[in-house]
Chain A
Amino acid sequence: MLDTEPGRLFAFLVHPLTLRIVSGAAICLAWEATARIPISFAFPTFSATMVALWSMIADFSLIHAFAITLQPLVLGLVISAFAGVAIGVAMGLKEPVHWFASPVFIVAQAAPLAALIPLIIFAYGIGLVAKTLVVCIMAMPVIVLNSCAAVRHAPVSLLEMGRAFGCTRRQEIARIILPAASPVIFAGLRLGSAAAFVGAILAELLITPVGIGDLITYNRSVADYPRMYAAIVSIIIVSVLFIEVLEFIEVTLFRPEKRARA
């Protein structure tokens, strides 16, 4: 049956979804195999981690932890996204704003965040404000700098076309510059989101151990490695899902021609 339809079998094998599942399964298998050798007693198997993950979902400890972790994360990310895109676009459109604001974000992007955390604790304490700030410091520079670069590199021929057909500056920004910049702005938002997750966990590990950071720290201290790894896996899964959702929003709202391609 399959021999008579090699085309269909091949199409199934190279289908993006098949490849994604195979790739994911390969990583899980490699994990399981290396953990069974074992390479370290602190490295649990994939199956043990999944069992721990399930038990943490079942006893609500994971959901409780996420409720805490997501507060500074979502707050910081929303602030970074809106303020970051606005500042970046303004920098791209107006040269004085660019010269004024770019040093701040270039320094923020280059600075090692962990070194700044004592300073943040000193100024803002150990509460939600300090953690939100850490998330913002992580996420905002890449969002700002990408938005700025995207706006500054609007295609010259489209700008000329806009002028030839009588665009006002406002129309030029709304109808040419921003649509042309949106793929790179969204790339910045995706990178910023990933950085925000890093920032949120870092804040919980370095400021006060609560939420997912607490699950990681606590389970390590009691040597419950499957639960520690389960906490790490859970945050990775949420992070990936979040970025996928962002990509879906981008394609649905801003890139009609990408939908046409699919």
Chain B
Amino acid sequence: MTVDPKTAQARIAADAIVEVRDVSKTYPGDVHALDAISIGFERGRLTSLLGPSGCGKTTLLKIIAGLLPATSGEVVVDGRIVSGPGPERAFVFQDFALMPWASVLGNVTFGLEMRKVGKAEREEIARHYIAEVGLSGFEKKYPHELSGGMRQRVGLARALAVRADVLLMDEPFSAVDEQTRRKFQEDLLGLREKENKTFIFVTHSIEEAVYVSDSIVLLSPQPGRVAQVIAPDIQRGGDVDAIRRHPVYLDTVDAIWRGLKRYLD
């Protein structure tokens, strides 16, 4: 269940769609956010980046997205070195980042429009994904008319609509209430079944990480380093509620918590 970082990397590297090689990040003012991070993200799996605040998990995700440059090291996606955002990666933002002046349809078609997909085609694709995230009938609504949870569904539909292989999610459920969050986590499992994508998921919630992930990368803070890679052996088919009572789920949550505790003082 728990593997030490070195063997985990060797195992994952076999079919890694995203490879982070020796990435360090220093912010101006000599703030050392990431220190020599090397991780492989396996194709078709959901990997969480988990750690206390200040461990650089969002920084790492944005470097993978090409939104931030690494100070040293490189990120390779599908065999190509990342120099900026690319069509094989899509991003789901913590604060949703919806355009308030555009309808749900306008927001979801945004990425396709930037790729010069024709109007009829992009609206058809957008409607499909709006339905998939459960927002059918809300196409003409504006973001301010939606609840926080619904807004993040729009953000998710927008990321799905560009049909990227890798979905990068930056604490996507942290700005919604607890009930909505649970529903989201269950929906994410369903989405994983349906969409053959690689998910990289940043969270600070241990329960959330264990619940949704195939593999959890634990980062230690200041500077961010890979502390541990954990692959919880949980069967996810069938009853989604059963996962939260699964002994492996409970043990893994407990083990991670004991591991993280020492960074908190």
Contact = CB atoms under 8 A, between A and B. Distances in A.
Partners in one complex: yes
B67 A176 contact: no
B242 interface: no
Contacts of A171: 114
Contacts of B144: 257, 261
B93 A157 contact: yes
B114 A257 contact: no
A157 B85 CA distance: 15
Nearest to B97: A161
Nearest to A160: B67
Nearest to B94: A157
B97 A256 contact: no
A20 interface: no
A64 interface: no
A160 B97 contact: yes
A260 B97 contact: no
Contacts of A260: 141-142, 145
Nearest to A167: B114
B217 interface: no
Contacts of A115: none
Contacts of B199: none
Given A158-B97, A176-B99, A179-B101, A165 B142 contact: no
B145 to A, nearest CB: 7
Interface range on chain A (Cβ under 8 Å from partner): 20 to 34
Given A166-B114, A166-B115, A257 B101 contact: yes
A158 B86 CA distance: 17
B95 A157 contact: yes
B101 A165 contact: no
Contacts of A168: 114
Contacts of A180: 99, 101
Contacts of B111: 165-166
Interface string A149-183: 00000000110111111111001000110011010
Contact of A161 (B84, B91, B143, B145): B91
Contacts of B95: 157
A162 B103 CA distance: 16
A257 B93 contact: no
Contacts of B158: 165
B100 interface: yes
B33 interface: no
Contacts of A256: 101-103, 142
B77 interface: no
B157 interface: no
Contact of A164 (B65, B100, B103, B113): B65
Interface in A34-83: none
Contacts of B143: 257
Interface in A133-163: 157-158, 160-163
A164 B91 contact: yes
Nearest to B115: A166
Contacts of B162: 165
A94 interface: no
Contacts of B102: 179, 256
B247 interface: no
A168 B85 CA distance: 11
Contacts of B113: 175
B93 to A, nearest CB: 6
B190 interface: no
Given A175-B110, A255-B101, A257-B101, 18 more contacts: A157-B97, A158-B97, A161-B97, A163-B84, A163-B85, A164-B65, A164-B85, A165-B91, A165-B110, A165-B111, A166-B111, A166-B114, A166-B115, A179-B102, A182-B101, A256-B101, A256-B103, A260-B142
Interface of A: 157-158, 160-168, 171, 175-176, 179-180, 182, 254-257, 260-261
6 contacts: A161-B93, A162-B114, A164-B65, A165-B158, A166-B114, A261-B144
Interface of B: 65, 67, 84-87, 89-91, 93, 95, 97, 99-103, 110-111, 113-115, 141-145, 158, 162
List the 4 closest pairs (A to B, CB-CB), nearest first: A161-B97, A257-B142, A165-B111, A164-B91
